[in-house]
Amino acid sequence: MERPNAWKTYDEAALAAVENTSRNYKAFLDAGKTERECALTAIDMAKAAGYIDLKDAIKAGKPLNPGDKVYVNCMDKAVMLFLLGQHPLDEGINIVGAHTDSPRIDLKQNPFYEDTDFAYADTHYYGGIKKYQWVARALALHGVVCKKDGTKVNIVIGEDPDDPVVGVSDLLIHLAAEQMGKKASEVITGEGLDIILCGQPLKDEEKEPVKATLLKILKEKYDIEEEDLLSAEIEAVPAGKARDFGLDRSMIMGYGHDDRVCAYAALEAILSITEAPAYTCCCLFADKEEIGSVGATGMQAHYFENAMAEMIALTGNYSDLRLRRALASSRMLSCDVSAGYDPLYAAAFEKKNAAMLGRGVCYNKFTGSRGKSGSNDANPEYLARLRKIMDDNNVCWQTAELGKVDVGGGGTIAYICALYGMEVVDSGVAVLSMHAPEEIISKADLYEAVKAYRAFMVEAGK
């Protein structure tokens, strides 16, 4: 049962809309190479659209009414936008949730050392990566340094055309016979992903003179001492901007499509809704999905539940029963990318149940691995209602699984939200080279995701 290619359905107006969405998305991707940058960019966009901080509403005791717009900022990493609907919250809300963390390399808390006229940063990789993909390429440093006096110093090095870049060196092919005989997982080790930062010694400095150069630069440019790195969060990510991919410019190559493409589509969808919907809409950006949704900003934390409790208190009489009813009655799209079918690696896929680039937003009834372990297996009744919403709104969509049975697998935040009893299904965009430093998506799939998420927010629950 083959789904149609979305490109074949577009007229000139739709093609222009696809390009406009893609252009805005590339700007979002370039501005948000870390989960913190994504969160703050989303908040800026929300404020421009009239959203207010839920904390301010709580402090002022401001009642929330249909059409009101509020956002929640959780530690500058997880973000929620709520557009209040006409139905009471305890009848459920329509949630489109994604994650904004992506695989990367993090600097350790005590990172700097010198070895043979190089100053290095010791690192610990984050999320599932093929480590050999991260060597011999230009990397940029993004993050924040928190000083003891309470000040925060934002770091972005390697994105401006005049900036230097950093990176991890590789062994030349002429001496790599032993290395080339290793398994791919062993060619580069985790402890081997140390980043070269400097190579010029500081004059008249006898002890670690190259590291002294590094510390001098950080002091002069950022007023940072080495000890300040103990309370810092610095991420090494691929340097450079997202770009059109393919001679026909039908695709986008860039860092962080997983899962910022779904996050952006959800954000654009909710910001496009200008009138009070039937049911409250929520756009949710979670952190830490790539390492199990843990921590205070991961989806296993209670910030979403807490925000719902606060909103119920501002829309009427709060009770634990009303909160439980609201959570259990809600409907959600857990938006995460899916593995795009790649003819060069066809053996990893079961073709008729694979996500194809250009055929629209993808629904995964289940994810997980080895017998659906760790998955949220969505109800067919819910899928039937989603099919109707998609078809009624002329959304191009498809269904898929993540590769052949027992070949691999993966998880999302769906199973966590399903613990409340709400209906949840995974929905996202197909990606080539997922978890690589540079991933590829189809512009058509991004556009259809925006359409799908908007239709869901407006019509689910009716």
What gap in Å lies between CA 96 and CA 83, rounded to an integer?
A: 12
Whole-number pLDDT of residue 253 = 98
Q: What CATH code would you report for 6-102+255-459?
A: 3.40.630.10
Point out the least confidently predicted range of 123-127, 397-401, 446-450. Answer: 397-401
Q: What is the pLDDT of residues 35-88, one digit of tens each?
A: 999 999 999 999 999 999 999 999 999 999 999 999 999 999 999 999 999 999
Whole-number pLDDT of residue 367 = 82
Report the half-sphere exposure of 273 (CA within 13 A, side-chain side).
33
Q: Confirm if 429 and 445 have CB atoms less than 8 A apart.
A: yes
What CATH number does domain 104-238 carry, 2.30.250.10, 3.10.20.30, 2.60.90.10, 3.40.50.2300? 2.30.250.10
Phi, psi of 447 (to 5 degrees): -60, -45
Q: Which residues neighbour 117 within 8 Å (Cβ) at sequence distance 6 or greater?
A: 199, 201, 210
Q: How confident is the model at residue 352 (pLDDT cuts 50, 70, 90)?
A: very high
pLDDT at 368 over 80: no
Q: Confirm if 456 and 333 have CB atoms less than 8 A apart.
A: yes
pLDDT, mean over the chain: 95
Using the 8-state DSSP alphabet, how is residue 307 labeled? Answer: H
Whole-number pLDDT of residue 369 = 75
Q: What is the pLDDT of residues 206-241, one digit of tens each?
A: 899 999 999 999 999 999 999 999 999 999 999 999
pLDDT at 366 over 90: no
Whose CA is closest to 259, among 458, 413, 448? 413
Whole-number pLDDT of residue 17 = 98
Q: What is the pLDDT of residues 281-320, one digit of tens each?
A: 999 999 999 999 999 999 999 999 999 999 999 998 899 9
Q: How confident is the model at residue 89 (pLDDT cuts 50, 70, 90)?
A: very high
Crossing angle between the packed helical segments 303-315 and 320-329, to the nearest 10 degrees: 120
Question: Over pLDDT 70: what percentage of the chain?
Answer: 100
Whole-number pLDDT of residue 409 = 76
Whole-number pLDDT of residue 53 = 98
CATH 3.40.630.10 in the chain: give the residue spans: 6-102+255-459
Output the CA–CA distances (angstroms, integers) from residue 239 to 127, 138, 301, 385, in the order listed: 19, 6, 32, 42
Q: What is the pLDDT of residues 380-413, one digit of tens each?
A: 999 999 999 999 999 999 999 888 888 877 788 8
The continuous run of DSSP H or E covering 81 comes out as strand 78-83
What value does the mean pLDDT take over residues 325-329?
97
Whole-number pLDDT of residue 323 = 97
Token output for 223: 């007023």
CATH 2.30.250.10 in the chain: give the residue spans: 104-238
